[in-house]
Each structure stands twice: as structure tokens, then as C-alpha cells.
Structure 1
């Protein structure tokens, strides 16, 4: 499919953004730009341009063993046509569950989903709010909501309707061809600051993609 899409990265396996071993797909470009976001690198528009055909080709070797697919960003619903074309192609090829993270409020997402078949099993909706507490699983701040949209979504994600625990305090570590290290997961407040201090105490330096305008992080 020749639909164009801007992507930040793709990785497998991801184990920190939903149950099981998951394919992670991060869209590039975000119009919401929540203060304190840990992924400022995904805000800029027009990077990582490719086609849905190429994305499907890239993830196809993993589809038979993936338990689920997590789509995040960036903001997936900023590229609505590409998102739904990708979801349609994935649904035709796998029975794995599909989770989408979006910074848009649920009412906006409902409107986008109204005219489509059931392509998404679960959605985490709402903007990250740095002033909110963080006590709920799969959410960076407690204003965000987990919506279970299909029977598969209920089966796979009902266990995440709970308070966060120590099993959630983990990260997947990814390395790219440029030597950059990517952490996938939902950090607690101050995790990156603590990591920076640990590395600096050992004589190393760390540059992160987080929005550092907020010292309270």
C-alpha cells in the first residue's frame, strides 16, 4: 500500500507497553506536545517518511511470534489515514492484539473510530499531564484512560485496570545503527534524572529526548 507515513522507529520485542512480546511502532510527528514529554524527538513533522507497504514488510517476520502490537509516537491520530491503513493491513495478517497510545481525548478518538471496523483492541487516551499523579498501570499520568474496545482487548488488557506495581518499573533497551540507545516503557517521575546522575557519577554523559523545561522531573 502506497500510503505515506512518518515513523520514528520500529522494534521487536517490546515487553513494557502491554502484555507479552510485542511489536512496537512509533509514529513521527506530534501536534499535542505535552509539557514534560519524554519523547520530544518524535514531535517534529516530516521525518522518517516511508510507506505502509514498507512498514508491513519490516514487521512481517515478527508477526507469527508477536503476542501484540503497540502503536505510539509521536501522535498516531495526527496521521489518521496512514494509521487506519496500517491497522487494516495488520488485522489481515495477525490475530495479535493491537494497543494504541494517543494524547487526544477519548471523545476525539471515538469520532475517528466511528466509521471504521473494529481495528483497535485497546486505547490509552489523553494527554500526559506532568502535574497529575502517576499511580495507574500503562499510564504516564492518572488523567489518561484505558479503553477496552473488543473482546480480545478485554481479555488482554483487563489486568491493567489496576494500580502500578514494581513489575511495571522496567524498560526495554534498544540500540540503533548510530549507536543511540532507546528505552521503551513508562518511566516514573525523575527516572531519567536518576539515570543521568548514575552515569555522570561513573564518568559518562547522557543526553535524553525528554522535555527538560521542568526541573521537577
Structure 2
């Protein structure tokens, strides 16, 4: 394994776990949950870079980050790259790791057994637009937080009903001037954002719209 497909890497992220975290989104997802707001991360094989390049970029961030959050896409569809990233983070940082997956705990149990201690906390389960969204750090109430290490036990503070503060979003801009949002918006927030921007005279296309049109 010498390459990895990356959607984006950003620091700091404040809406996907405690503190100012490094946020890594791996590219490619075959689960493709209806209503997903990250349709742009579905296509596999794009954004491919050498693993060494990604690890070098993490080196720059690690000294200031309060942890690493990995999402996607579906991180476990690049299992070797995921292991390399998390093992490297363990080598350069004492901070916590949080991984989001659309798979259930039993589906990734083999990987976790092969790589003990690399994931402190895991949020599992596919996004279900037909279910309520009342819980912190989750898009639908079927998703579960699992503390896998002592450090991960701190993430259980999110195992509660979401507050308004939990629906904050980080806003970042890429080199092309495209804006993207990090976090877990409340239902309908993306549509409301489009309406607000349209009222101000802006035309917007968001990744959830792309999914609906494809």
C-alpha cells in the first residue's frame, strides 16, 4: 500500500470531537446512504496521493492538534491506509483518535482486532434519513458511539441528546474558492442555507443536491 485516496485534510476542526482536531476525510464509499450530505466523497480512486505525503502533512499538524478525527467516504474501504494513518498518529501524538464509519461494529471487528489500540472511539452505523436525529455527534439515532480505549471513554460525553451548540459547523475554503462545511448539521439546515444565499443573490450547489440529481 503506497497511495491513499483523500477527500480533504483540515486543521483545525472543532465540530467533530473535543478540542481543535485534525480532520481527515478519506475518499470512496460504496455504502452511499440516501440523503448523505457528503456525496462528493463517494467516488473511489480520486484525490490519490502517496501515503508518505499524507503522513508528512499530519506531521505539520500534530503538534497543535487535540486529536485526529477520520471520516469519509468510508474509512474502512481503505483499511491499509487507515491503519498506516492511525499508527503514524500514535507515533507522533498522544492525543485521541475518533473514526466515523457507516458500518456496524461487527463488520469492522476483524480490522480492530488486527490493529488494537489505534482507534480510541468509533461511531458506527449508516446514516438513516428515515430516523430521528436527536443525538450529539450523529446524523441519525441508529448510530452508536463505542469507547475502545481509556482515552476513548472521554468521547462518551457525547452520548447524549444534542444541543444547539452540537449543530455548529466549521467553514473552510479550498484553493479554488469552494466552501465546505465540517460537522453534523441539523436536518434541513443545508436547504435553509441555500435559501438564505439565494435571497442574497447567490447561486449555490451543495453535495447533497448533487446526490439528488445523479
TM-score (norm 1): 0.95
- Could you say what the CA RMSD is over the residues aligned between the two structures, in angstroms? 1.4
Match of 2:61 in 1: 62
Match of 1:169 in 2: 167
Is the CA contact 1:134–1:142 (under 8 Å) kept in the aligned structure 2?
yes
Deviation, structure 1 residue 99: 0.3
Secondary structure at 1:77's aligned position in 2? helix
> Deviations along 1:85-109, whole A, 9 cap, x unmatched?
1111111110110000000111111
**What are the equivalent positions in structure 2 for 1:196-211 lying under 5 Å apart?**
196-210=194-208
- Write 1 or 2 for the structure with the bigger share of helix: 2
What count of residue pairs does the alignment treat as equivalent? Answer: 213
Is the CA contact 1:10–1:25 (under 8 Å) kept in the aligned structure 2?
yes
- 1:181 matched to 2:176: no
- Structure 1: gaps spanning 5 or more residues: none
Distance 1:45 1:158 in 2: 32
Distance 1:74 1:128 in 2: 12
Match of 1:131 in 2: 130
- 1:75 matched to 2:74: yes
Is the CA contact 1:136–1:161 (under 8 Å) kept in the aligned structure 2?
yes
Distance 2:196 2:41 in 1: 26
Match of 2:42 in 1: 43
Is the CA contact 2:39–2:210 (under 8 Å) kept in the aligned structure 1?
no
Distance 2:166 2:118 in 1: 26
Distance 1:33 1:195 in 2: 23
Deviation, structure 1 residue 13: 0.2
Is the CA contact 1:39–1:211 (under 8 Å) kept in the aligned structure 2?
no
- Structure 2: gaps spanning 5 or more residues: none
Match of 1:117 in 2: 116
Distance 2:132 2:178 in 1: 30
Deviation, structure 1 residue 205: 1.2
Is the CA contact 1:16–1:185 (under 8 Å) kept in the aligned structure 2?
yes
Deviation, structure 1 residue 117: 2.3
Query: Cα–Cα, structure 1 residues 211 and 103, in superposed 2: closer, same or farther, change >3 Å?
Result: farther
